[in-house]
Structure 1
Amino acid sequence: MNSPSTLVAALEHHAVISPRSRALIAGTDTLTYRELAARSRSVARALAAAGVGAGDRVVHLALDTPAVYELLYGCARLGAVLVPVNWRLAPEEIAYILGHSDAGVVVTDDPGRVGATGATVVEVAEYPAWRDRAPDRAVGEFSATSDTPVVQMYTSGTTGRPKGVVLAHRSFFAVRGLLDSAGLDWIDWRADDVGLIALPSFHIGGMWWATQGLNAGVANVVLPVFTAVDAIRAVRENAVTTSCFVPAMLLLMLSEPGVGASEFASLRKIVYGGSPIGPDLLARAVEVFDCDFAQIYGLTETGNTAICLPPADHRADRRRLDAAGLPYPGVDIEIRDEDGTPRAPGESGEVFVRSPARMVEYFADPDATAATLSPEGWIGTGDAGFLDDGGYLVIRDRVKDLIIVAGENVYPAEVEKAIAAHPGVHDCAVVGAPDDRWGERVHAFVVARPGTEVTTRDLARFLAGRLAGFKVPSRYEFIDVVPRNPSGKILRRELRERFWAGRDRRVN
């Protein structure tokens, strides 16, 4: 029998073969696969009663609970598209997304944030009653294919207005299929696994990770919102075996007082990505968590992960830890210069990816779609990097974050990695600031480890010999926290703003 290729088909498969198996765990509440399938049918009836049909958008604007996954499968049954929205956004940003997506239904834990809209607004507290009061009659289910849109994720909006990235069912099946076909266990699921969904559903990493566990038919623990304490408790109390984190989450968990290996005895594999990880943090994580690690790299537009640094490269021979990883079988990578010409191995340029998991389009934005997704399926990542002699992708930084000092290129990620290696540094970020003499200068924001004192002189001495002179920051600014978006990426534009505000050009 062929493996399911749509979300509803996968859910129904597990509801039939293992109906009593746990699908979702939220605190003391547990939802089996049979119950999840039944609830998703109730959601489909409620959505249909509200006038939702194929192609319509349904917004989830709330902390994560099993409801978001009930909505996901309910939408999929109708051919509708779920739009998980970052509840941390400002009212103006939320209003833009609600208007842009033209949502027919909004499920929210704070109706006051929705504002004026023609959508049916369902408060989370009333959601179960709304879900279950729809007439108990069959709803004509949409005949989806792997190319049918099912989720719309809005980009983080660190530059300009956010775009709605439309993802089809294939975005949540392609990587698993590629790995299975090649017989690789870089990211794998076992029958007795318990996954922890620590990333939010409004982030592609969170939605992708949740669907991987549900497609595999294993138990999945849902955190309403990540905190280190809650994540550690969830691992311990549920005997979690695998999870996906951004490096900042690993750092927070490792920073909890008294935390040790015994807290994570059940873990067998951690997948991480979303931002670069420092060598000291990774070494500490490997030691304390004492399990396999796999690094992933990708974009919302590529359907999440397209590159993986396998567990084997995290073990004895760690020469490749500076790399993002290898493309999955069936995923293509090219490095191109500014003119679009492919670069040779070892030569830096913008990273382009072609993956079967890639997005369908940017919703209602054909110009942006054409500028990002080529007819041949290539997507420009906006990241600068190169392919080494082993075919591993090494990321230098975002192309737009490039700093040019007296004609020399400086990649912030490289400087940040060097600073982060200082034992007194907890976190850091590097940006380019205008300089009358050199064009731009390197400015570092540094967060010291609690209980330690780090000075500018300490850092300058530490970096001497580790970085070329023109890469060493000319100034250091000590701050309490580095601003990051929900996926863990540094909000570099926010840090640069005071240096470049009022200038027509953001380069010097």
Structure 2
Amino acid sequence: MFLQRLGNKGIQLGTVFDRAAARHPASPVYLDHDLDIAPGLGRRLTLTEIAELVDDFAARLWAAQVRPGERVVVHKSDSFDISLLAYCVARVGGVPVLLSPKLDGATVARLLQRLGHPTLVTDQAKLERELPPEIFESTERVLVAAGGFPGATSLASLAGAERVPAVTMPQDLPALITHTSGTTGLPKLAVQTGITIQARCRPQSVLLAPVGRREPVAVHVSFAHSRMISGTALFALRGHPLIVMRDDDTRRAAELFARVPPGVIETHPNTLLHWETLAGHPAAPLANVRCFSNTFDAIHPRTVDTLLGASRRTMPFFAQTYGQSETGAIAARTYTRRHRAGADGRCVGRTFPGMTEVRVVSRDGRPPTKSSPGHIEVRSGGRIVTYFGEQERFDNQFSPDGWWRMGDLGYRTKWGCLHLLDREVDEIPGISSTLEIEDKLFTRLPELLEVIIVPGGGGAPIPVVCLREDRPLDRARWRAAVAGLPALAEPVQRRLDELPHTATTKVKRLELSRQLTGPQDGPLSTTK
């Protein structure tokens, strides 16, 4: 069997920083914010200091009666300590459940009910402003990571708790629970084991092979994302200096990168799109970048071209990965400056031999092609083991012969490259790929910050556009850009912050479509 070939070696999350500090004790970690649980540590730490911090707060969790096998939800204000608290929970044998700080209180309350009286680690701000009072009824205990709240236990009050040895858990048991993006409704709770987390590190090791271990790695990924946990573990164990970012503001990013020039940048595709403006910054904040990497989603060719052009390294490259929260990275391709011109953004590359497999299954009995795409299905050692509390839903994601259905449509070329055309739920009749049209519009209109094409409620598909600095759309340039493309409705302009986003900055297309095609007080604005 495929998964048997991968072996069963796992990773103990609770001791990652102990092992990393033993190998690279002085390796630095730079932050663009203060940690809520330890603001006094400042913004330049070492792996040794982080290992000590994890040990300290693991002892506090133990003193609060958190025990092996317990589910511990971490839902607090945005900070790297969300990820660090996951390692603390794992250190005492608990199962960290990371819920994004961007989730609303009602959604968090529903997920807490599904989890069956877990421990909740949150903060004063969340309890006062967002979380409903009933969360105290659906949890075993509420721990406050920053501040205080009636009926909750402050972790600060447990300072000085006796240290406890790290708990070693079987690697085939649940080790981490994160939620899916929630683009199609209430997020699902994806369960990983130590084995699946380790398997997710292997493809990333392949992509990092050309990169020296002294290259600083800048990471701007949701602190509640599974990629943040596996990625941080990998980078720390390799000894890379780490630059951990909460903010994607271009001005602050430029200042940080000018002070600590990264050799690797990993972030969500929409953040890389946002950072295109750094290419022309006078401080040249991207000059030292050897590798750009995105998390699991296809990237627009314009962004690749712009970022590679900003690097002054001899041979920079862009590593694009394709996957999802349920599987980890499945396929990848690399771009160099030689590949920039005319790159096909729909090509997401090839699988990782011996680690991942992919096939495309016909929907109409014909071989899948661009004009007749099929279902993308995969096998991966990094695939989750279940959706917590929704086993039937999990089982329904498999084909009869055991392949995991990604929910994407695409095809493979005769050279073996996988091409992603659309999510199944986003498919629009008469359009072979909305993503391909968006790629073309980005290339033809450099002023675009975002463009999303959604169904038109029975009419032509609606393009929603956001422009840099919220400038008004030049209609003459738009008409020239859409020439030769499938018929589209008149564009609707919005500010970027008006679009519904997931925790990983993806636009919720279905929600956006409902906003545009549902009951309206008047005609749709094209200039808002």
TM interval, shorter chain, is 0.7 to 0.9
Check whether the contact 1:345–1:389 (CA below 8 A) recurs between aligned residues: no
In 2, distance between residues paired with 1:239 and 1:432?
Answer: 42
> What pairs with 1:328-407 in structure 2 (closer than 5 Å)?
328-329=352-353, 330-338=355-363, 343=367, 348-373=373-398, 378-404=403-429
Q: Secondary structure at the match of 2:478?
A: helix
Q: Of 419, 438, 456, which residue of structure 2 is paired with 1:433? A: 456
Q: Secondary structure at the match of 1:45?
A: helix
Please state how far the C-alpha of 1:153 moved relative to its aligned partner. 1.0
One-letter amino acid of the structure 2 residue matched with residue 55 of structure 1: G
In 1, distance between residues paired with 2:192 and 2:287?
Answer: 36
Q: Secondary structure at the match of 1:58?
A: strand
For the structure 1 residues 108 and 372, does the alpha-carbon distance in structure 2 shift closer, same or farther, using more than 3 Å as the test?
farther
Please state how far the C-alpha of 1:92 moved relative to its aligned partner. 1.0
Equivalent position of 1:161 in the other structure = 186
Check whether the contact 2:363–2:373 (CA below 8 A) recurs between aligned residues: no
RMSD: 3.1
Residues 422-474 of structure 1: CA deviation (Å, up to 9, x unaligned): 32433211111233xxxx52111122444865455543333223x2xxx2203
Please state how far the C-alpha of 1:139 moved relative to its aligned partner. 4.4
In 1, distance between residues paired with 2:99 and 2:270?
Answer: 21
Please state how far the C-alpha of 1:155 moved relative to its aligned partner. 1.6
| 1:129 matches 2:127 | no
Equivalent position of 2:92 in the other structure = 78
For the structure 1 residues 448 and 161, does the alpha-carbon distance in structure 2 shift closer, same or farther, using more than 3 Å as the test?
closer
In 2, distance between residues paired with 1:478 and 1:74?
Answer: 44
Check whether the contact 2:270–2:506 (CA below 8 A) recurs between aligned residues: no
Q: Of 470, 473, 492, which residue of structure 1 is paired with 2:488? A: 473
Q: Secondary structure at the match of 1:310?
A: strand
Please state how far the C-alpha of 1:331 moved relative to its aligned partner. 0.5
In 2, distance between residues paired with 1:206 and 1:425?
Answer: 29
One-letter amino acid of the structure 1 residue matched with residue 87 of structure 2: Y
Please state how far the C-alpha of 1:416 moved relative to its aligned partner. 1.7
> Once the two structures are aligned, what percentage of the paired residues are identical?
21
| 1:19 matches 2:46 | no
In 1, distance between residues paired with 2:477 and 2:43?
Answer: 51
Q: Of 8, 19, 43, which residue of structure 2 is paired with 1:29? A: 43
Q: Secondary structure at the match of 1:201?
A: coil
In 2, distance between residues paired with 1:175 and 1:446?
Answer: 35
Check whether the contact 2:80–2:223 (CA below 8 A) recurs between aligned residues: no
| 1:141 matches 2:163 | no
Equivalent position of 1:497 in the other structure = 514
Q: Secondary structure at the match of 2:274?
A: helix
| 1:307 matches 2:322 | no
In 2, distance between residues paired with 1:133 and 1:375?
Answer: 54
Q: Secondary structure at the match of 1:192?
A: coil
In 2, distance between residues paired with 1:262 and 1:65?
Answer: 27
Please state how far the C-alpha of 1:173 moved relative to its aligned partner. 2.5
| 1:59 matches 2:81 | no
Q: Secondary structure at the match of 2:213?
A: coil
Check whether the contact 1:245–1:272 (CA below 8 A) recurs between aligned residues: yes
Q: Of 174, 196, 219, which residue of structure 1 is paired with 2:199? A: 174
Please state how far the C-alpha of 1:137 moved relative to its aligned partner. 4.5
Check whether the contact 2:83–2:229 (CA below 8 A) recurs between aligned residues: no
Q: Which has the higher contact order (CA 8 A, sep 6+)?
A: 2
For the structure 1 residues 476 and 7, does the alpha-carbon distance in structure 2 shift closer, same or farther, using more than 3 Å as the test?
same
**TM-score, normalised via structure 2 length:** 0.82
Deviates more, 1:171-180 or 1:215-224: 171-180
In 2, distance between residues paired with 1:17 and 1:262?
Answer: 32
Check whether the contact 1:460–1:472 (CA below 8 A) recurs between aligned residues: no
| 1:210 matches 2:248 | no
For the structure 1 residues 213 and 480, does the alpha-carbon distance in structure 2 shift closer, same or farther, using more than 3 Å as the test?
same
Check whether the contact 2:273–2:303 (CA below 8 A) recurs between aligned residues: yes
Check whether the contact 1:313–1:321 (CA below 8 A) recurs between aligned residues: no
| 1:103 matches 2:118 | yes
One-letter amino acid of the structure 1 residue matched with residue 352 of structure 2: Y
For the structure 1 residues 150 and 473, does the alpha-carbon distance in structure 2 shift closer, same or farther, using more than 3 Å as the test?
same
Q: Of 417, 427, 443, which residue of structure 2 is paired with 1:421? A: 443
One-letter amino acid of the structure 2 residue matched with residue 473 of structure 1: L
In 2, distance between residues paired with 1:298 and 1:473?
Answer: 29
| 1:323 matches 2:347 | yes
For the structure 1 residues 82 and 17, does the alpha-carbon distance in structure 2 shift closer, same or farther, using more than 3 Å as the test?
same
In 2, distance between residues paired with 1:420 and 1:241?
Answer: 27
Please state how far the C-alpha of 1:235 moved relative to its aligned partner. 1.8
Residues 262-286 of structure 1: CA deviation (Å, up to 9, x unaligned): 2223322110245443332321121
Check whether the contact 1:43–1:74 (CA below 8 A) recurs between aligned residues: yes
Check whether the contact 2:207–2:319 (CA below 8 A) recurs between aligned residues: no
Q: Secondary structure at the match of 1:262?
A: coil
Please state how far the C-alpha of 1:335 moved relative to its aligned partner. 0.8
In 2, distance between residues paired with 1:73 and 1:32?
Answer: 16
> Any stretches of 5+ residues in structure 2 without a counterpart?
1-7, 34-41, 149-153, 520-528
One-letter amino acid of the structure 1 residue matched with residue 28 of structure 2: R
Equivalent position of 2:526 in the other structure = none
For the structure 1 residues 274 and 487, does the alpha-carbon distance in structure 2 shift closer, same or farther, using more than 3 Å as the test?
farther
> Any stretches of 5+ residues in structure 1 without a counterpart?
503-508
Residues 234-279 of structure 1: CA deviation (Å, up to 9, x unaligned): 2222232212122321232233696147222332211024544333
In 2, distance between residues paired with 1:251 and 1:310?
Answer: 17
Please state how far the C-alpha of 1:490 moved relative to its aligned partner. 2.0
Q: Secondary structure at the match of 1:193?
A: coil
Q: Secondary structure at the match of 1:68?
A: helix
Please state how far the C-alpha of 1:370 moved relative to its aligned partner. 0.8
Q: Of 191, 208, 216, which residue of structure 1 is paired with 2:213? A: 191
Q: Secondary structure at the match of 1:12?
A: helix
Check whether the contact 1:189–1:216 (CA below 8 A) recurs between aligned residues: no
Residues 188-220 of structure 1: CA deviation (Å, up to 9, x unaligned): 653312222211212334334323312323222
**TM-score, normalised via structure 1 length:** 0.84
Equivalent position of 2:132 in the other structure = 115
Check whether the contact 2:28–2:44 (CA below 8 A) recurs between aligned residues: yes
> What pairs with 1:271-286 in structure 2 (closer than 5 Å)?
271-286=293-308
In 2, distance between residues paired with 1:451 and 1:75?
Answer: 43
For the structure 1 residues 355 and 345, does the alpha-carbon distance in structure 2 shift closer, same or farther, using more than 3 Å as the test?
farther
Please state how far the C-alpha of 1:109 moved relative to its aligned partner. 5.2
In 1, distance between residues paired with 2:427 and 2:259?
Answer: 45
In 2, distance between residues paired with 1:219 and 1:193?
Answer: 7
